[in-house]
Amino acid sequence: MTAIEYVRGDATAPRGKGVKIVAHVCNDLGGWGKGFVLAVSRRWPEPEAAYRRWHRERAKNDFGLGAAQFVQVEPYVWVANLVGQRGIRTGRSSGVPVRYEAIDAALGLLADRAVELGASVHMPRIGCGLAGGTWTRVEPLIAERLSARGIAVTVYDVGA
């Protein structure tokens, strides 16, 4: 089992050598416009375009809670769009949009792709921003799905 490494920095500028996958959580509404996705879009336009197309064509594909989409953005960098959030939080919302079981399922798909590519995984504290989740619930999922398979995981906290 590999320990999760915590660093201060920007997950869209993943550290280290070799193939890297930048993972983040998306909602199941096709909405892209707040939170970490803004940093992703500032760096690479492809993940947003692919996610919007994936949602638009959902009647003919696997889009939905627990799904994962992998978009190559540089020769050695991929972005993983993980659908782990039911809807979005609004002023009238009660409860939080995070769906831990969906994050868990998507992390399983991420682990398979990371092994296939020989990649390390880089992420913010997924599911804990706009999705409203808690790291004490998400971290064990990452440890079980990724670290237990020997996949190097780096979690980025904003700030230098």
CA distance 24 to 11: 10
Phi and psi, residue 11, nearest 5°: -65, -15
- Region 1-8: mean pLDDT is 90
How many angstroms separate the CA atoms of 28 and 85, rounded? 6
Q: How far is the C-alpha of 88 from the C-alpha of 29, rounded, in Å?
A: 8
DSSP secondary structure letter of residue 104: H
Q: What is the pTM of this model?
A: 0.95
Q: Which residues pair with 120 in a beta bridge?
A: 20
At 55-94, the pLDDT tens digits run 999 999 999 999 999 999 999 999 999 999 998 776 665 6
DSSP designation for 98 = B
Cα distance from N-terminal residue to C-terminal residue, the chain? 28
Contact 111, 145 (CB under 8 A): yes
Confidence check: pLDDT of 159 > 90: no
Angle between helices 100-117 and 135-145 (to 10 degrees): 30
- Torsion (CA) 43, 46, 49, 52 in degrees, nearest 10: -90
Summarised one tens digit per residue, pLDDT across range 111-154 is: 999 999 999 999 999 999 888 899 999 999 999 999 999 999 99
pLDDT given for residue 91 in this prediction:
66
